[in-house]
């Protein structure tokens, strides 16, 4: 039932997008690359390498009627790093590329603009990745998947040409789906707070985007299974994701992007299979080609 509700929200939003009149649409694509190469007679022990990353971002929103607003976001990212190695015979070969980034994130929000202090909302979100290489020899496409359905209250505090600040607070229901046979599918439900902020800086050449997501699970489908283990309280701990992106447009096609993401989630496991009780930080600085489609 919950999954059907999510699909209904996403399908409704997609059908609405087909009627593209009066939609506010922003779309951009970027590609960054770093390469170094050495001749076969190079005396040092450096190795050749090649890394690249592609990003696509889409925002489409519209006041569908006097009392209904629809906002859709799509974030896609994929990148790889290719490294050279020297085999036992002393020959240089290229190893299998490693992923450097992989993201699929689609979200749709229906906000009921009733003219009161806060607006009721319904939301659906689908998070995944293009390639799952977590199990050697068993690569999966679009796996694992996290589906989130939300409902609650929202408020837009600031919205003009330069800045936008909005918040959402409500109930959230999550399903964690994994197509690997050895991994069980689970679900939970709880309370979710989302804060979105966007600002244009320095004569509109610099854009700052920040999104804070705090989720506290109240129900977990496997709570009985983990009871009495060292992990029994991990699912109860609030989970935090804070993403900050600064994009500076140096020329019409060249841009500099800094992405800093902080995650705290005790349900995640480290390389030794133990609960990760530390803040994870991902920092990406990329200089590359960027083009604003719309």
Each domain of the chain, given as residue ranges in start order, spans: 2-35+47-292
pLDDT of residue 2: 53
Q: For residues 198 and 148, what is the distance between their CA atoms, to the nearest angstrom?
A: 23
Task: Calculate ∠ Cα 14-170-148, nearest 5°.
Answer: 45
pLDDT score of 135: 85
Whose structure tokens read 């992106």?
A: 245
pLDDT value of position 290: 86
CATH number of 2-35+47-292: 2.40.230
Which of 16, 104, 125, 103 minimizes the C-alpha distance to 62?
16
What is the predicted pLDDT for the residue at 21?
64
What per-residue confidence (pLDDT) applies to 17? 58
CA-CA distance, 174 to 161, in Å (whole number)?
34
The one-digit pLDDT tens for each residue of the chain (294 residues) are 555 655 566 666 656 655 556 788 888 999 998 888 877 767 667 778 899 999 999 999 999 999 999 999 999 999 999 988 877 777 778 888 999 999 999 999 999 999 999 999 999 999 999 999 888 888 999 999 999 999 999 999 999 888 999 999 999 999 999 998 777 899 999 999 999 999 988 777 899 999 999 999 999 999 998 888 888 889 999 999 999 999 998 888 899 999 999 999 988 866 666 677 889 999 988 888 887 776
Per-residue confidence (pLDDT) for residue 53, from 0 to 100? 93
Give the phi and the psi of residue 164 in degrees, each rounded to 5: -150, 130
Cis peptide before 144 (omega within 30 of 0): yes
Residue 31, CA distances (Å) to 11, 105, 146, 213, 215 in order: 30, 18, 27, 27, 32
pTM (predicted TM-score) = 0.88
Question: Which residues 6+ apart lie within 8 Å of 278 measured at CB?
Answer: 264
Alpha-helical segments (H) within the chain: 2-18, 223-226
């Amino acid at each position: 039932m919950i999954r059907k509700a999510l699909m209904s929200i996403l399908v409704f939003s997609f059908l609405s997008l087909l009627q593209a009149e009066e939609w506010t649409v922003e779309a951009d694509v970027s590609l960054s690359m770093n390469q170094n190469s050495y001749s076969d007679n190079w005396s040092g022990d450096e190795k050749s390498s090649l890394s690249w990353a592609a990003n696509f971002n889409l925002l489409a929103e519209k006041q569908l009627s006097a009392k209904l607003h629809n906002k859709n976001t799509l974030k896609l990212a994929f990148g790889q790093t290719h490294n050279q190695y020297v085999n036992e015979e002393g020959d240089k070969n290229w190893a299998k590329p490693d992923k450097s980034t992989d993201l699929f994130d689609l979200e749709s929000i229906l906000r009921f603009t009733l003219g009161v202090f806060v607006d009721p909302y319904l939301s659906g979100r689908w998070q995944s990745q293009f390639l799952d290489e977590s199990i050697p020899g068993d690569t999966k496409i679009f796996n694992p998947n996290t589906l989130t359905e939300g409902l609650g209250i929202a408020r837009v505090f600031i919205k003009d040409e330069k800045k936008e600040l909005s918040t959402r607070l409500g109930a959230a229901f999550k399903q964690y789906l994994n197509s690997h046979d050895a991994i069980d599918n689970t679900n939970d439900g709880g309370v979710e707070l989302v804060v979105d902020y966007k600002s244009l800086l320095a004569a509109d050449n610099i854009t700052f985007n920040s999104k804070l997501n705090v989720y506290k699970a109240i129900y977990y489908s496997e709570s009985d299974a983990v009871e009495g283990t060292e992990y029994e309280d991990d699912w109860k701990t609030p989970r935090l994701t804070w993403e900050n992106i600064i994009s500076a447009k140096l020329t019409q096609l060249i841009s500099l992007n800094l992405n800093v993401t902080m995650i705290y989630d005790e349900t995640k496991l480290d390389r030794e299979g133990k609960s990760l009780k530390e803040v994870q930080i991902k920092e990406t600085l990329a200089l590359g080609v960027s083009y604003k489609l719309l």
